[in-house]
Structure 1
Amino acid sequence: MSRLKRVLVVLTAVAVALVAAVGGGFFWLYTDAEVSTVGTSFSREMAVPPLAEPTVERDGTKVFDLTMQAGHKEFRRGQQTPTWGFNGDYLGPTLRAERGDKVEVRIRNTLGETSTVHWHGMHLPAAMDGGPHQTVAPGGTWAPRWTVDQPAASLWYHPHPHGTTEEHVRRGLAGMFLLDDERSAKLPLPKRYGVDDLPVIVQDVRFDGSKFDHGHKLMAGSGFLGDRTMVNGTLDPYKEVGDERVRLRLLNASTARVYQFGFADDRRFSLVASDGGLLEKAAATDRIRLSPGERAEIVVTMRPGERAVLRSHPENLGDFWQTRFNGGDDAFDVLELRAAKTLRPSPELPAELGEPELPDAGESVRTRFFGLQRSGINGRPMSMDRIDETVTRGTTETWVLRNDDGMPHNFHVHDVQFRVLEVDGRQPPPHLRGAKDTVFVPGNRSVKIALRFTGPADPDTPYMYHCHLLYHEDEGMMGQFVVVEKGQRAGDVRVPHSHAGH
């Protein structure tokens, strides 16, 4: 009996030690999961990506040149970090065109890896979309051409190679593509690029020595989560402004992090545009949530001599686990606006802004359901040679999106701007009532959207729909659809071809 007692004592001690170790490990993971840069010192002037200067051909086509290249950037004084960029060491220039413009973008890949360039939010032929089927090999070129036919909006461009999108975007391949039209040009909105109309490309980063750390935190199933943020490639950025009202074109260019943007003093601002362009009317708010790939344009009113800090506030990402380990408890001071002692007066915002060109639910001819899980959409991981959905040109459909696994997801559809009809069966909030191409779908929630497919038809070349948390996309959380004429069937998906020449 004494031997048995000794054995039981030893086993109990081992069990207690294991429980303590596991509990201690979990406590360490729990406390380490929360990140905050609140109170940061803003010490670097925010870079503003240059506007690309196109050449104009005889027929009026605006031709832009983009070169994907490797480089080094001194994010922190005295340390050179290896990076990728377009036409430079990190990120890319801002492209700008007007509705009705014919555009061509001549892309050259000088990297050691095959990549692509996707025009996120753009309505254009599938063969020009820059998805995983339009790859550009190392040393290769590609020159997509299309006519801009959509309202003024803040779009962006980034790589889309199947399986490596997260890595390519994280290294720095991204830029903004701004569209203008006659209506927006007449509105009294701030519109001097880099002065009172500012691109704000937000990314979270983590450094390991002189390199970007591309690893994922333990327990963080959403993908890469950094411990600090950059704006336009600038750490701890500030921007001096000289106007009473400033327009911020917010782009969440992070690969997994969801931001809850507001200001440190909880001041209200005006939301004037979402992914696909201007809202009907400005919406006053003090918070705007953007998941990866989403954009929003806000106008903030400044007072002479003050400093206003753009902050990402903590938010609920579903349940305790998802919120804690996927960044919901984190807070970041993102950008400081420094107002001059004397400000140029700005006109009041107009009562009416835009007329979003969105489908109506009553026009829908079909409803499709999409179950979102990390393992795939509707239970199937992405396959490059499989057409998942076939839609008819000129028709409107209703798509019901359901997050079935509790983890944060969002949903991006190529080529179209859709209308959000419902969020969990209720009318969407104001920030979701404009044109959208990407929508956040929290765990165990549902979103209903209306989409109109205006073509052109191409039964052999697909567009994508996918989760824009890029780690999930790379794992296979993506599907393909083709647009066909009435009565036409989907064809055979063309084998991806890397463009290696002109």
Structure 2
Amino acid sequence: MSVFDLTAQSGRSTIVAGGKTKTWGINGPILGPTLRARRGEAVRIDFRNTLDEATTLHWHGMHLPAKADGGPHQMIAPGKTWHPEWVVNQPAATLWYHPHPHGKTERHVYRGLGGMFILDDDQDAALSLPRDYGVNDIPLIVQDKTFDSGGQLVETSRRDNGMIGDTILVNGTAAPYLDITAELTRLRVLNASTARSYNFGFSDDRTFAIIGTDGGLLSTPVEATRTLLTPGERIEIVIRMRPSETVRLRSYPQDLGLWGARPQTSGANDTADIIELRAAATLTPSPNLPGRLNEIERLTTDLAATTRTFDLNNNRINGQAMDMARIDETVTVDTTETWEVWNSDEQAHNFHVHDVQFQILDIDGTPPPPELAGWKDTVYIPPGSGVTLIMRFTEYTDPTTPYMYHCHMLWHEDQGMMGQFLILRPGQEPAYQPPTNEHHH
């Protein structure tokens, strides 16, 4: 068993000119360590909260028991510890962890809590992919913040979307650069912003290869010059560089399907440098990417036992705000379901489901583009659009503890765009008791 000792703590980080920023972090002043585990491996987290308020840690993208999920039902009071355990049983993928306290998630993530959780398996390890962590396999946790003249974090007006910052950080660093030492470099990019989406591309418009998304490797590499990443989503890209060249990873203006003032207030019109890549004079040779990456088992609608519909509007799902006392859906274990998710709102929303990775069957009736054809746990849905998702619920049942589904634009989640579901054995009855005091453990 791998045991990870994690401590939520307050600290000070030198990020921008003006002064040391008061931040929160895991095992340090901002963000947290990259955790790593192999498929089949048992893991335990020993998580201690030394902050002055209760928080949680949610393992975003992880298939695990509901009691270990780290959502709003697993609050850890100041000075208390939490010890979730599970066995990793899913493909190699770039996952992450972040707090999930009901009504306060945006603020806790904005202050700096979060980190990557990378899963490995034999299939990924057998491929000739860049995998020397920190050398040619690099995590990029991308976030936007706003700072005052003294270097302190500012919680800006939320408007429609949530906080849109004017300073881009990568791994907690402003104006970052990366020294490139190999011909091919794998960038594991996480949009850990609370509201801002990014349309990633390079300053010279070069093509890059998308090899993986939220739930793991794609079937084949997908060539691209731009890729949209909304809050909570991850993407693995591979870039080829020549000796001594420099290029910037940028975010370009994006079409989120918004109109009026919303593209401006959501940051969709912005161009921003993310990180500068600086190639060494001599680069380590890299083999070409394999043409086949992964055999993805396709889930088909004839397998689906149930179809559920979800309407996202006005920070509500199906007209209801999140209520910790209400179970919204009950699912039977070892069944496949299709979820039709519609954004009938005028603002941007995406949709994240806990415990499972899903496949996108269609976007407004059209099959997804190749880069969205793998396993996903978070999907963007423009205003006036709908997606059909298919997912299989396996292994874990719990009549007392729910999982969540919600918009991952965290202000929307905090305002009520979230629901909860139980996974039950056939014939099992819910036995859910709403928490009477969230500060437990």
**TM-score between the two structures when normalised by the length of structure 1:** 0.86
Q: 2 CA distance for matches of 1:173 and 1:212?
A: 14
Q: 2 CA distance for matches of 1:132 and 1:282?
A: 37
> What letter matches 1:299 in structure 2?
V
Q: Residues 159 and 391 from structure 1, CA distance in 2 versus in 1: closer, same or farther, beyond 3 angstroms?
A: same
Q: Percentage identity across aligned positions? A: 54
The Cα shift of 1:498 comes to: 5.1
Q: Residues 244 and 302 of structure 1 are in contact (CA less than 8 Å); yes or no, is this contact kept in structure 2?
A: yes
Q: Which runs of 5+ in 2 are unaligned?
A: none
Aligned residue number for residue 169 of structure 1: 109
In the TM superposition, 1:418-457 aligns within 5 A as 418-457=358-397
- Which secondary structure does the structure 2 equivalent of 1:67 belong to? strand
- Which secondary structure does the structure 2 equivalent of 1:261 belong to? strand
Which residue, out of 354, 372, 377, partners 2:317?
377
Aligned residue number for residue 18 of structure 1: none
1:320 to 2:250 alignment:
no
The Cα shift of 1:428 comes to: 0.4
In the TM superposition, 1:149-188 aligns within 5 A as 149-188=89-128
The Cα shift of 1:500 comes to: 5.5
Which residue, out of 133, 153, 159, partners 1:212?
153
- Which secondary structure does the structure 1 equivalent of 2:118 belong to? strand
Aligned residue number for residue 30 of structure 1: none
Q: Residues 142 and 499 of structure 1 are in contact (CA less than 8 Å); yes or no, is this contact kept in structure 2?
A: no
In the TM superposition, 1:73-88 aligns within 5 A as 73-77=13-17, 79-88=19-28
1:475 to 2:415 alignment:
yes
Aligned residue number for residue 52 of structure 1: none
Comparing 401-410 with 353-362, greater Cα deviation is found at: 353-362
Q: 1 CA distance for matches of 2:250 and 2:407?
A: 25
1:247 to 2:186 alignment:
yes
1:224 to 2:187 alignment:
no
The Cα shift of 1:455 comes to: 3.3
Q: 1 CA distance for matches of 2:148 and 2:208?
A: 36
- For residues 101-154 of structure 1, the C-alpha deviation after alignment (integer angstroms, 9 at most, x for no partner) is 000000000000000000000000000000000000000000000000000000
Q: Which runs of 5+ in 1 are unaligned?
A: 1-60
Aligned pair count?
439
Q: Residues 54 and 439 of structure 2 are in contact (CA less than 8 Å); yes or no, is this contact kept in structure 1?
A: no
Q: Residues 258 and 348 of structure 2 are in contact (CA less than 8 Å); yes or no, is this contact kept in structure 1?
A: no
The Cα shift of 1:372 comes to: 0.4
Q: Residues 411 and 440 of structure 1 are in contact (CA less than 8 Å); yes or no, is this contact kept in structure 2?
A: yes
RMSD over aligned Cα atoms: 1.2
Q: 2 CA distance for matches of 1:247 and 1:449?
A: 28
Q: Residues 455 and 483 of structure 1 are in contact (CA less than 8 Å); yes or no, is this contact kept in structure 2?
A: no
- For residues 226-280 of structure 1, the C-alpha deviation after alignment (integer angstroms, 9 at most, x for no partner) is 1120100010000111100000000000000011111111110000000000011
Q: 1 CA distance for matches of 2:370 and 2:436?
A: 40
Q: Residues 204 and 229 of structure 1 are in contact (CA less than 8 Å); yes or no, is this contact kept in structure 2?
A: yes
1:135 to 2:75 alignment:
yes
Rg (Cα) greater in structure? 1
Q: Residues 278 and 355 of structure 1 are in contact (CA less than 8 Å); yes or no, is this contact kept in structure 2?
A: no
The Cα shift of 1:342 comes to: 1.2
- Which secondary structure does the structure 1 equivalent of 2:15 belong to? strand
**TM-score between the two structures when normalised by the length of structure 2:** 0.97
The Cα shift of 1:326 comes to: 1.2
Q: 2 CA distance for matches of 1:307 and 1:187?
A: 28
Aligned residue number for residue 260 of structure 1: 199
- For residues 362-387 of structure 1, the C-alpha deviation after alignment (integer angstroms, 9 at most, x for no partner) is 21111111000133100000000110
- For residues 435-475 of structure 1, the C-alpha deviation after alignment (integer angstroms, 9 at most, x for no partner) is 00000011111111001000311111100000000000000
> What letter matches 1:102 in structure 2?
A
Aligned residue number for residue 402 of structure 1: 342
Which residue, out of 229, 246, 250, partners 1:290?
229
Q: 1 CA distance for matches of 2:30 and 2:297?
A: 34
Q: Residues 342 and 385 of structure 2 are in contact (CA less than 8 Å); yes or no, is this contact kept in structure 1?
A: yes
Q: 2 CA distance for matches of 1:431 and 1:91?
A: 28
- Which secondary structure does the structure 1 equivalent of 2:248 belong to? strand
- Which secondary structure does the structure 2 equivalent of 1:450 belong to? strand
The Cα shift of 1:359 comes to: 2.7
Q: 2 CA distance for matches of 1:490 and 1:421?
A: 30
Q: Residues 258 and 382 of structure 2 are in contact (CA less than 8 Å); yes or no, is this contact kept in structure 1?
A: no
- For residues 13-57 of structure 1, the C-alpha deviation after alignment (integer angstroms, 9 at most, x for no partner) is xxxxxxxxxxxxxxxxxxxxxxxxxxxxxxxxxxxxxxxxxxxxx
- Which secondary structure does the structure 2 equivalent of 1:75 belong to? coil
Q: 2 CA distance for matches of 1:124 and 1:387?
A: 19
Q: Residues 277 and 356 of structure 1 are in contact (CA less than 8 Å); yes or no, is this contact kept in structure 2?
A: no
Aligned residue number for residue 139 of structure 2: 199
